[in-house]
Amino acid sequence: MGKLAIYPGTFDPITNGHIDIVIRGSKIFDEIIIAVGENPHKKTLFSHNERVELVKEVVDQLGFSNITADHFSGLLADYMRRKKAIAVIRGLRALSDFEYEFQLALANRKIYPQFETVFLMPSEQFIYLSSSMVKEIAQNGGDISQFVPPVVEEALYKKFGRAK
């Protein structure tokens, strides 16, 4: 068994920034699971099942044999333990991301001492990119083709009742 990392997130929706991070991670780890989290306290545009399906479609289109998609609910540390992962991958765009992610990493390490977090910076063109921003642009009829894969672009426009 190789080195497995988990790339968790809400992925509402998955963006080219997320894809950039997972591709970077695939150069470090033998296998990566993009774990789509279910958080009942977070209001999402896409249902949990829709988000999982979108991520699976994107992963299939990427064509990387070492990247898979899955879903999880509950504690990330428990999921990581079940999957026998050695690390969690998190993307950092700005200092504000670091503060939140640092607290999360330390809390997870308290729950599961073997919990390691690897922080990766996205490519410069994705530093500003967020799922929230993409949703807002799509909702207002803007062009999101440079921010998300075509399958996600189509799903967003459909969700907002707009034609591409």
Give the count of beta carbons closer than 10 Å to the beta carbon of residue 101.
16
Q: What is the pTM of this model?
A: 0.93
| Residues designated as active site | 18, 42, 93, 131
For the chain, domains (ranges, CATH) are: 4-123 (3.40.50.620)
- Segments of 19-146 assigned E as strands: 31-38, 67-73, 87-91, 117-120
What length is written for the chain? 164
How large a percentage of the chain has pLDDT more than 90?
80
Q: How far apart (Å, rounded) are the C-alpha atoms in residues 24 and 102?
A: 20
Check: CB of residue 151 under 8 Å from CB of residue 58.
Answer: yes
- Residue partners of 99: CB distance under 8 A and separation at least 6: none
Per-residue confidence (pLDDT) for residue 86, from 0 to 100: 94
Q: How far apart (Å, rounded) are the C-alpha atoms in residues 94 and 113?
A: 27
pLDDT tens-place string over residues 104-123: 899 989 998 888 999 999 99
pLDDT tens-place string over residues 37-84: 998 888 999 999 999 999 999 999 999 999 999 999 999 999 999 999
